[in-house]
A and B are shown apart, each in its own frame.
Chain A
Amino acid sequence: MTVDQVGIANLPNQRFKIVSKEGATFTLMVAGESGLGKSTFVNTLFQSTLKTPVDNKARYKRGIHATVEIEVTRAELEERNFKIRLNIIDTPGFGDNVNNKDSWQPIVDFIDDQHDSMMKQEQQPARGDKKDLRVHACLYFIRPTGHSLKPLDIEVMKKLGTRCNLIPIIAKADTLAQKEMNEFKSRIRQVIEAQDIRIYTPPIELDDQASSDHAKSLIESMPFSVIGSGEDEIEVAPGQFVKGRQYPWGIAEVENEDHCDFKKLRSLLLRTNMLDLILSTQELHYESYRTLKLESAETGSKRSRRLHNPKFKEEEEALKKYFTEQVKAEELRFKQWEQNIVTERHRLNKDLEEVQATIKDLEEQVKRIQLGKK
């Protein structure tokens, strides 16, 4: 730096230093039906066992009333002296029921709740220690059916896309042949466009050729296809290991760009677009939630909290049923009572008729006596 320079050129380095010292907070949500390798993906992405997949016995035990529960895994990871506080939001059991209507509601609510919590924290006079679980990126795992998006997928993705950075992913990409994959991808892209689903798109910086080329290549590959991999690496050549899945016909490699888009997705999530994900969450998604919320508060409408636990619903039903039965019992009693009144009326009428008969009898007797007298 020359003497006559003020030192402005050094300012980005100051920012770099401050961020390096502070570290970062990153919250990643994985959504989708179970069995699509969500946990495995997270572990592969961060090269550490953060999530232990639920063992199959436990899956079975949960039974038919599987609730969508939100599960938060917190981790503090460090690489090259840089620390991130990582939060993985898992949504086990999503879409596993026979009737999945509203099964996505807890996920959507979770995202809203985090925005809401941030708003409440921000409004406090002292707000030094904010807890932030706002979702910076939501990976939506699509089952590799080869057909198209399911109605449930569309419904959920629509809701998610307006609330956070939605990144659709084709899970278990090794089950689709290359041609099938390309067709599947283009069909999904069509549906996304036709249904007006908002998905995260990396910004293209036109003044930076390398960066915009990279962004374009990411956009072209969407939705990203990924292959899950187990804990152990496979030895492809003596001393050379890869992450992947070994088949009799070959090895599907996670980090091979010809095999799947894992590397592109990793680049988007961490290496090139992590900051954009964080900032757009704050500046776009959080701000729109906040604006909406404040506007609706001004007009006086208030969102009542929805409860999704099926057990709650059952209890409500039971209560209603109990009262219905009570009503029925009472109705029966009243019917009986009315019946009794009718019977009694009959009896009393008869009683009166008897008296009337006596009167008639007497009248006749009197008449007879009077006649006899004459």
Chain B
Amino acid sequence: MATEHSAHASKESLGITSAPLSEKPAPAREVKVIRRKLNGYVGFANLPKQWHRKSIRRGFNLNVMVVGESGLGKSTLMNTLFNRNLYSASSAAIPATEKPSAVEIESLSADIEENGVRLHLTIIDTPGFGDAINNTDSWTSIVSDINNRFDTYLEAESKVTRNTIADTRVHALIYFIEPTGHSLKPLDITFMKQVHGKVNLVPVIAKSDTMTEEEIVEFKQRINDDIITHNINIFKPAQFENDDDDTILSTQDLIAKIPFAVVGSTTAVTTADDRQVRGRSYPWGVIEVDNEEHCDFVRLRDLLVRNFLEELRERTGNVLYENYRTEKLKKMGIDQDNSVFREFDPNLKQEEEKVLHEAKLAKMEAEMKTVFQQKVSEKEKKLQMSESELFARHKEMKDKLLKQVKVLEEKKSQLEKSKTTTGDGSLQPAQKTRKGFLR
């Protein structure tokens, strides 16, 4: 939390695009946080319990995708995991007489309730994977199905009204490895690399009852080497320092068993010591599905349901989906604006408002000034015009009158000449007209 608070200042300086206020470097303000450990009981520590209750009311959901060549016991394992007949008997793999054209995507759902807790389960099956002679493109329909599910979610999330978004994203992909005892096949590696950035990848060794304990240990080792060599990300539950020792130990144990070697069976068989168990009966003994000594089935169930279902979902939503979305939006040309991720600061807000206010004030002033100057100059022009009109008219009239005077004077002097008498009508000199502004 401390780092989160202090980190925001530096983040702001990244990728500032449009916000006009961010142009100047944001002043680094320390966000003050009061830290206290309470002695008494106030009650907010009850929130996880409130969540517990709420989660029961809301129910859970899980979408598992299963991928693997046919005949590896995918449907049996799913039926065993959820302890019911999800796949009806008829849908059991019909030996392919004709070559399947492409990988199909089939999904089947079930609502399972246990002690009042409901789970809406969807299995997304991919029959036909790896069955063709050339499997170059056998993963494309799987990858595009995973992407489509992300796209559907993204679309729902961007809607104007979005009540509850149905989550159809793949929360876990169980990849079935053929128990060859060698190592991963090229198709395994190629496929896993295609999907490991989009799903929580859970590789399992199918039908592990065909391998001896030693073989399994060696096979697991080789698979893990391959996974490391090829940089394949597989799902591993997070470990926390604060967990109690038992949890840490059991999580470590679970991680150590990856990839899980599993056997599936929904049929009850009788063991040598006369117990009824789910398992497979061989002349040399009974392999018990739910026996941790015999196979890793219990671990797989722990990972998928009992202990880490919510973690699978969280990682799908918070990491895998977010990465997909980020890339998709960036490809669509949407620019990242990091200036929106900043801590609310009343001072900063006031400063912003001040800048806005000053801009508004300046605009107001400019507008008023323009209007004012325009009005003033209009009025000035009007007055100057009437002024010059006045003078012009006066001049015209006066010129006309002076002409009359001249004519009369001439007439008079002619008359006087002819009469040889001298008149005394002397003329006043015309007053000089004034020009200019009268202010």
A19–B47 touching, CB < 8 Å: yes
A302-358 contacts to B, CB under 8 A, are 305, 307, 309, 312, 315-316, 319-320, 323, 326-327, 330, 333-334, 336-338, 340-341, 343-345, 348, 351-352, 354-356, 358
Which of A127-135, A156-164, A216-224 faces chain B?
Answer: A127-135
B427 to A, closest residue via Cβ? A358
Determine if A117 is an interface residue (Cβ-Cβ < 8 Å).
yes
Q: Mark A84-123, 1 if CB is under 8 A from B, else 0.
A: 1100000000000000000000000000011001001100
A-side contacts of B117, CB under 8 Å? 8-9, 11-12
B41 interfacial by beta-carbon distance below 8 Å: yes
Partner among B83, B114, B405 whose Cβ is within 8 Å of the Cβ of A362: B405
A287 to B, closest residue via Cβ: B162
Q: A126-B326, A362-B405 are in contact. Are A133 and B394 (CB under 8 A)?
A: no
Binds A, one of B174-182, B196-204, B227-235, B410-418: B410-418
CA of A280 to CA of B136, assembled, Å: 49
In the complex with contacts A114-B344, A355-B405, A369-B416 CB distance below 8 A: yes
- Decide: A355 and B401 in contact? CB cutoff 8 A: yes
Q: Which residues of A contact B322 (CB under 8 A)?
A: 126-128
Give the dominant DSSP class at A's interface.
helix
Roughly how many angstroms separate A298 CA and B160 CA in the complex, as a whole number? 10
Tell whether, in the assembled complex, residue A48 and residue B36 are in contact, meaning their CB atoms are under 8 Å apart. Answer: yes
Q: Is B213 an interface residue (CB 8 A)?
A: no
Cβ-Cβ contact count across A and B, 8 Å cutoff: 312
Q: Which residues in chain B, 381-397, are within 8 Å of chain A measured between CB atoms?
A: 383, 386-387, 390-391, 394, 397
Q: Which chain B residues in 303-345 approach chain A with CB under 8 Å?
A: 305-311, 314, 322, 325-327, 329-330, 334, 336-338, 340-344
CB distance from B387 to the nearest CB of A (A): 6
Q: Is the CB of B49 within 8 A of A309?
A: no
A266 and B42 alpha carbons, distance in the complex (Å): 8
Q: Is the CB of B43 within 8 A of A271?
A: yes
Q: How far is the CA of A80 from the CA of B39 in the complex (A)?
A: 9
Per-residue CB contact flags for chain A residues 358-372 toward chain B (1 = under 8 Å, else 0) read 110111011001101
In the complex, the chain A residue whose C-beta lies closest to that of B298 is A3
What is the chain B residue whose CB lies nearest that of A279? Answer: B54
Contact residues in A for B56 (Cβ distance below 8 Å): 12
Q: Does A195 contact B (CB under 8 A)?
A: no
Q: Are B1 and A76 in contact (CB-based, < 8 A)?
A: yes
Assess the B346–A275 pair: CB atoms within 8 A: no
Query: Does A236 interact with chain B (Cβ within 8 Å)?
Result: no
B114 touches A5 (CB 8 A): yes
Could you tell me how many residues of chain B have their Cβ less than 8 Å away from some Cβ of chain A?
Answer: 126
Check A307/B353 contact, CB under 8 A, given A82-B47, A274-B46, A369-B415: yes
Q: How far is the CA of A241 from the CA of B43 in the complex (A)?
A: 20
Inter-chain contact B35/A18, CB cutoff 8 Å:
no
In angstroms, how far is the closest chain A Cβ from the Cβ of B381?
Answer: 12
- Contact indicator B46/A271 (Cβ below 8 Å): yes
* Residues of B close to A74: CB separation below 8 A: 5, 31-34
Residues of chain B within 8 A of A191, CB atoms compared:
none
Decide: A309 near B357, CB < 8 A? Known: A359-B401, A362-B408.
yes
- Does B8 reach chain A (CB closer than 8 Å)? yes
Q: Could you say which of A16, A266, A341 contacts B48, with CB atoms under 8 Å apart?
A: A16
B81 touches A6 (CB 8 A): yes
CA distance A241 to B115 in the complex (A): 44
A47 touches which of B1, B40, B334 (Cβ 8 Å): B40
Please determine whether B290 and A78 come into contact, CB atoms closer than 8 angstroms. Answer: no
CA distance A320 to B46 in the complex (A): 58
Task: Check if A179 is an interface residue, CB within 8 A of chain B.
Answer: no
Residues of B within 8 A of A4 (CB): 83
Shortest Cβ distance from A365 into B: residue: B425
- A71 contacts B346, CB within 8 Å? yes
Whether the pair B44, A274 counts as a contact (CB closer than 8 A) is yes
Q: Indicate with 1 or 0, residue by residue over B107-137, a CB within 8 angstroms of chain A CB atoms.
A: 0000011111111000000000000000000
For the complex, give the distance between the alpha carbons of A58 and B311 in Å.
51
Assembly CA distance A348 to B398 (angstroms): 9
CA distance A11 to B308 in the complex (A): 9
Stretch of B94-102, B215-223, B252-260, B360-368 at the chain-chain interface: B360-368
Check B341–A131 contact: CB distance below 8 A: yes
Kindly list chain B residues whose C-beta atoms are within 8 Å of the C-beta of A305.
353, 356
Q: Decide if B438 is an interface residue (CB 8 Å cutoff).
A: yes
How far is the CB of B37 from the nearest CB of chain A, in Å? 5
Inter-chain CA distance A234–B126, complex, in Å, is 71
Q: Are B290 and A3 in contact (CB under 8 A)?
A: yes
Q: Does A204 lie at the interface of the complex (its beta carbon under 8 Å from any beta carbon of B)?
A: no
B interface vs A, CB < 8 Å?
Answer: 1, 4-5, 7-8, 11, 31-57, 60, 81-83, 112-119, 160-163, 240, 242, 290, 301-302, 305-311, 314, 322, 325-327, 329-330, 334, 336-338, 340-344, 346, 349-350, 353-354, 356-357, 360-361, 364-365, 368-369, 372, 375-376, 379, 383, 386-387, 390-391, 394, 397-398, 401-402, 404-405, 408-409, 411-412, 415-416, 418-419, 421, 423, 425, 427-428, 430-431, 433-434, 437-439
Ranked nearest first, the 4 interchain pairs of A and B with the lowest CB-CB distance are A7-B306, A340-B438, A271-B43, A275-B50
Q: Which residues of A contact B (CB under 8 A)?
A: 1, 3-21, 24, 26, 45-48, 50, 69-82, 84-85, 113-114, 117, 120-121, 124-131, 133, 205, 266-267, 270-276, 279, 287, 290-291, 294-295, 298, 305, 307, 309, 312, 315-316, 319-320, 323, 326-327, 330, 333-334, 336-338, 340-341, 343-345, 348, 351-352, 354-356, 358-359, 361-363, 365-366, 369-370, 372-373
A selection of 5 A-B contacts at a CB cut-off of 8 Å is A131-B343, A340-B438, A358-B405, A363-B408, A369-B421
